[in-house]
Amino acid sequence: MAAQHHEPGSGRAPDGAAPPGDDARLSVVPPSGEPAERAAAQVADLTVPADHLQGLAGVGEGFKAAFARHPAGVAIITARGPEGPVGLTASSVSSVSVDPPILGFSLQARRGSAAVVAEADSFLVHLLDAENLGLASAFAVSGTPRFGDDMPWEYLPTGEPRLLAVGRVLRAVPLARIKAGPALVFNAAVVDVLGHEGSGSPLVYHQRRFHGLSDRSVLDDGT
């Protein structure tokens, strides 16, 4: 994948050097290295029993059609791999628990960037807004150039590559990697909030297209 062809030093910030100032503006919680390290040391590998489900192959087409029509928020998950920064677009990120702060997502982790994220001790979850459309596309399509000069980014002092155009960014460490068929379901503790506001117009993925929300898309005041 393109991200793995990244030359160290070709991005905007050198390894490990975060420009001062920017971080202080967005951080609402100072980096909490100790809980992060404790969490990373305890990641559990669990398995969902699924070997008995072969009889359900016929359900797949209807399942795919139903979920293609189910909208989702869009995130880019980045991690530092042995060959440089990697990232992938994910539409399965959700909040699992606020106290303690746990998020969940799933991915197919056999190769490429997903395999690097699956093995990482920590990663950044960037929650995308409409203005991040270009990033969403680049990190969704294998082979697209990433972490180039047109995508400002930096390594955090803690090691993860941060995409600076994204306003809502969470640093997380895996608590559990749960094997469910060919997928890995992650539960991860959020150890730092690097930004939580964003533009107010989030990106939505639906029927293989990206949508934006605005006041005009509101149906009701909700709950």
- Contacting its own copies within 187-216 (CB under 8 A): 187, 189-193, 195-198, 200, 202-206, 208-214, 216
In this chain, which of 17, 19, 56, 111 binds its own copies, going by CB under 8 A?
A: 56
Binding mask 34-53 for its own copies (x = CB under 8 A): xx--xx--xxx-xxxxx-xx
- What is the smallest separation between the CB atom of 8 and its own copies, expressed in angstroms? 28
Q: Which stretch binds its own copies (CB under 8 A): 10-18, 56-64, 112-120, 149-157?
A: 56-64
Interface positions, 104-123, toward its own copies (CB under 8 A): 104, 106
Choice between 120 and 175, CB closer to its own copies: 175
CB nearer to its own copies: give 74 or 86: 74
* Between 12 and 196, CB nearer to its own copies: 196
- At residue 107, φ and ψ (nearest 5 deg) are -155, 160
Residues 138-197 binding its own copies (CB under 8 A) are: 140-141, 168, 170, 175-176, 178, 180-183, 185, 187, 189-193, 195-197
Instruction: Give 178's contacts (C-beta < 8 A, 6+ positions apart).
Output: 46, 47, 48, 184, 185, 186, 187
Q: Of the ranges 29-37, 80-88, 115-123, 151-159, which one interacts with its own copies (CB under 8 A)?
A: 29-37
* Residue 109 contacts residue 181 (beta carbons within 8 Å): no
198/168 Cα distance (integer angstroms)? 5
Sign of CA dihedral 13, 155, 81, 73: negative
Only one residue has tokens 């791999």, namely 81
The answer to whether residue 28 forms part of the interface with its own copies (CB under 8 A) is yes
Contacts of 55 (CB under 8 A, 6+ apart): none
Contact between 159 and 16 (Cβ < 8 Å):
yes
Considering only 8, 29, 111, 149, the residue that binds its own copies (CB under 8 A) is 29
Rounded-to-integer distance, Cα 194 and Cα 126, Å: 10
Q: Which tokens hold the place of 42?
A: 């305890």
Question: Considering the complex, what minimum distance in angstroms separates the CB of residue 78 from its own copies?
Answer: 16
Does residue 87 interact with its own copies by CB under 8 A? Answer: no
Contact assessment for residue 179 and residue 46, using Cβ atoms and an 8 Å cutoff: yes
